[in-house]
Structure 1
């Protein structure tokens, strides 16, 4: 539904021109030009809602016009800048499906990845929330979309930026696994914690979360009584990350980050209400801090 008066006036005039001169191709092209120029005006002024409305009118009334494909690409961008991420993804999917051989189809792949990542960040960015503690679903979708772009169009001008974003997303996905492992420690689910740590070590090699993945394994296997596995993880941690805070004098400190002090309440209640010791591995400030770079996509060329 069109809401902006200027959009209503100019687009209506354009469509009336088409209606009154259905046999005149030049007039029809002129009407398309008027609508497209209006959309460009709103894009340049960052009036995303008005731009979306004008571009949607173009898509509906001039699906085979001279500016149709370019307008569809610009609609993806306008949806994204207007924080309509689901619409941007759907529009990008539609463009890929309808124009698989288009010279700029790589842009649709690129924007689909960006929109998927931002799909739930707008709300969380306003809260004091660690992005790595959120559900990793959209990050995985975004990673897969960027991987498709690089696989199909390795020479795309968007490939390098997509690679940087994939590194960012891979770091975030690895760190998410460590957060889950820390949660399992709190629930005394030590085998589940060990599995998360091992998953990071085996699947996210080179990420800043690997040292904590090894520490999780050493701690969790020790608590499970699986000393051989614990010592093996400790050995790798000592060799590759000797400055990890869980290491003390070259050995793993199994009491790391745990408070064993008992209060008078613990004595009176015989420890019935004693809080479980916290086990939390998070060394992002030591091993390549997890960054949150401001990545701003550009409109289609």
Structure 2
């Protein structure tokens, strides 16, 4: 019995030695100085190698969570995720930065980039190259973008990013108003007059100063007429004629096409929109 135990021990030792000899043990990665790792991440960003930049910045956070460059690296990581077309990761990184550093001097940039991430996601890659009416798609990302930009503008009105955020907010209001009008037209075609009137009223009451308002009023007038609510219909027509005397009520398809052309403010262009890099430390 003792002989069998000895043989077993010798066999186990031999197997362990063999694993070591053939590289079974993983070699530890050498430590990279924080300064070097951060510099490599910046070089990757400058070169447009965003996936590599993400890798370097993640490694920097993991190895030096309380280092000299930790806060700046977190901002850079939001930017890298955004440029690498990882919207969920970018928003999560922005939320994390905002939660951890509520009083940071560059927190406005985190809000701005979070809003911009959802803004670009709402546009979608296909819509950039094909004539797709974005007002017919779910506005979830547009709502998220508007909320982030609104927070930025209200809390940090003097931010360097506020003017651009305001411009994009106006576009988003137009986008959301278009969506409501599109849904209202859908209800009109199916005889759901109450639902159509409610959608039109929502635009008039909550999304004023958008190109969709006169169309929303016209839908309200038509829907109330169908419902036999002549007083409400006449009121909607009066408001429409008083405030938009040149408005011509046309088919729903023609209205939606006209809205899309007047509401974009040139923000549905190509890929050459410049996004500011994170503020320097």
Partner of 1:215: 218
Q: Which has the higher contact order (CA 8 A, sep 6+)?
A: 2
Aligned partners of 2:178 and 2:259 also within 8 Å: no
Aligned partners of 2:156 and 2:162 also within 8 Å: yes
> Aligned with 2:118: secondary structure?
helix
Q: Deviations over 1:258-278 (max 9, x none)?
A: xxxxxxxxxxxxxxxxxxxxx
Q: Deviation of residue 55 (structure 1)? A: 0.8
Q: Does residue 275 of structure 2 align to residue 297 of structure 1?
A: yes
Q: Which runs of 5+ in 1 are unaligned?
A: 1-13, 19-30, 247-255, 258-278
How do residues 102-251 of structure 1 correspond to structure 2 at under 5 angstroms? 102-125=104-127, 126-246=129-249
Q: Over the residues paired in the alignment, what is the CA RMSD in angstroms?
A: 2.1
Aligned partners of 1:178 and 1:281 also within 8 Å: no
- Mapped partners of 2:118, 2:256: distance in 1: 28
Alignment TM-score, normalising by the size of structure 2: 0.82
Q: Deviation of residue 160 (structure 1)? A: 1.2
Q: Which runs of 5+ in 2 are unaligned?
A: 1-27
> Aligned with 1:103: secondary structure?
coil
- Mapped partners of 1:15, 1:33: distance in 2: 17
- Mapped partners of 1:83, 1:193: distance in 2: 37
> Aligned with 1:289: secondary structure?
helix
Q: Deviation of residue 70 (structure 1)? A: 0.9
Which structure is larger by alpha-carbon Rg, 1 or 2? 2
Alignment TM-score, normalising by the size of structure 1: 0.77
Partner of 1:36: 38
> Aligned with 1:43: secondary structure?
helix
Partner of 2:84: 82
Higher fraction of helix = 2
